[in-house]
Amino acid sequence: MTPRADAVRSRSRILEAARTHDLRALRLNDVARDAGVGIGTVYRHFPTPRALVEALSLDALERLAEAGRVAAEEPDPGAALRGFLATALRLQLEDAGLEPLLTDMARAEPAVHDACAAARGQIFRGYEAVLVRAQRAGIVRRDLTAGRLHRLVCGIEHAVRLGAPADEALLLDILLAGISTPPTP
């Protein structure tokens, strides 16, 4: 069944208004007011703040999954790793809802769970692919896992948010230096 045109417009206005709010402290009443719709309309489309955050973050999830596919095609494993991690960090900084979706799928909303789960699976396959290639090339330590690498990126995201946007490149360089293969004595 195709949604009514007014329902599509309302959903679009809600999403547009929500993008102007801090996703970590999203209040549906505020979004309804800014979108010019009733709170009931917001709840019909997004029964919880998390459902709204997930809907807003689907695009970022899909872009990160695509970054993993692009990195897999990069012939240089070091460039693939750097490019993928830089994209992951940038997307997480641009979209405050992305990190929670990547780390806590157990709380995903049923309405977007399948789409989020599929994108999340692709993202973690991307982490695994670039990491394994870099490990095989001998440029990244072997005791690092894709899950640990993802958590390190989340840590860098948090550090940049606490500091300044200008810290992003420096902290990414530090991350890459820290995961590089230790020199042999």
Of the candidate ranges 87-101, 106-120, 123-137, 160-174, the one whose mean pLDDT is the lowest: 106-120
Average pLDDT, the chain: 89
Does 112 or 177 have the greater pLDDT score? Answer: 177
Of the candidate ranges 22-36, 108-122, 129-143, 170-184, the one whose mean pLDDT is the lowest: 108-122
Mean predicted confidence (pLDDT) in 8-20: 90
Predicted TM-score (pTM) of this structure: 0.79
Mean predicted confidence (pLDDT) in 59-68: 89
CATH T-level topology, domain 1-46: Arc Repressor Mutant, subunit A (1.10.10)
Residues 14 and 45 sit within 8 Å (Cβ to Cβ): yes
Mean predicted confidence (pLDDT) in 13-30: 88
Residues 123 and 87 sit within 8 Å (Cβ to Cβ): no
d(CA 70, CA 84): 8
Name the pLDDT band for 109 (thresholds 50, 70, 90): low
Percent of the chain with pLDDT over 90: 59
Burial of 157 (0-12, 13-18, 19+ CB in 10 A): buried
Among residues 168, 51, 48, 55, which one has the least CA distance to residue 119?
55
The predicted structure's pLDDT at residue 50: 81
Radius of gyration of the chain (CA): 19
Name the pLDDT band for 107 (thresholds 50, 70, 90): low
d(CA 146, CA 71): 14
Q: Per-domain residue ranges for the chain? A: 1-46, 54-179
- In 114-167, where do the E strands start and end? none
> Does residue 64 surpass a pLDDT of 70?
yes
Instruction: Please state which CATH number belongs to domain 54-179.
Output: 1.10.357.10
Q: Which two tokens stand for residue 71?
A: 């990195």
d(CA 36, CA 59): 24
Q: Which two tokens stand for residue 65?
A: 């999954």
d(CA 31, CA 24): 13
> Does residue 1 surpass a pLDDT of 70?
no
